[in-house]
Amino acid sequence: MTEPSGDRAFKDAIYAQIARVGRAVSHPRRLELLDLLCQGPATVEQLARKSSLSVGSTSQHLQALKEARLVRGERRGTFVVYQLQDAGICALFHSLRTVAERSYAEMRVITEAFLADHAGLEAVDVGQLQDRIQGEDVVLVDVRPPDEYRAGHWPGALSVPLDQLAERLADLPRDRQIVAYCRGPYCVLSLHAVDLLRQEGFEAVRLVEGVSDWRARGLPMVEGYQA
C-alpha cells in the first residue's frame, strides 16, 4: 500500500529531529563530556582538564551538544558553567553504554586487556557494597574531584580526591576495608587509588558502578561536602 505523501512527510520530519540527537552523540569525545556532566555541572576549563582536551576543542564539542539541546550553559561571573539539559540525558548516556556493552565484544576485550595491568584487583558491585556497609566492615571513599563529590555522592562516602590520597592516608583506618569509587566502570581514578592503597598496606577494593549507574537504578545520593 502506498503511503500518503502527508504521512511520509510527517514521519520524515519527526525522524529527522530524532537524528539530531544521534548526530550530536556520534563523537566519542562528546560522549565522554556527557559522562563527565553526569557527575555534575562544570566549566569549559574543568571539562577540558578532565578530558585531556584543549579548551577550544571542548568548547566546540559543547556547542554541538548545546545545539542538540542536550546541554545548556549558564554564565557565572567570568565563567560559563555547563550542565545536562535534564536528568534524561544522563539516562540516555547510560543506555548507550549498556547497549554497547551488550552488543560489542570489543568492550569486554578492551577492558580486560587494560585491567590486566592491575593484577589481583578486586571489584565489587552495589549489592556487595550494601551488604558490607550493613556489616560496618568498610569505609567508602570517593576519589573524584571535589566539585563532582559535592554535586552528588553515595551517602556516607568520604571525599578523598585521588591527587590528595597519598597525603591523607593517615585519615583512613587500617583495620577496615577501603572501597574506592569514581565515575563508573571505565573511570581509572579508582583503579589508581586502589593500587596506591594496596601498596601502602591497606585492604582496598574498587566499586565498579558510578553516579550514572546509581541514578539509572533510582538509588539515593547526597549533595554537599562531608569530608
Rounded CA-CA distance 85/93 in Å is 13
Cell of 2: 502506498
Q: What are phi and psi of 121, to 5 degrees?
A: -75, 125
Q: Which of 28, 199, 218, 214 is nearest to 120 (CA)?
A: 199
Q: Which of 38, 90, 182, 187 is catalytic?
A: 182
H helix or E strand, kind and range, residue 14:
helix 5-24
Per the annotation, the verdict on 38 as an active-site residue is no
Rounded distance between C-alpha atoms, residue 190 and residue 196, angstroms: 10
Beta bridge partners of 81: 43, 74
Residue with cell 530524532: 18
Residue from 92, 114, 124 nearest 209 by CA: 124
Let me know: does 4 contact 45? Beta carbons within 8 Å: no
**Of how many residues is the chain composed?**
227
β-sheet bridge partners, residue 181:
142
Catalytic residue positions, numbered: 182
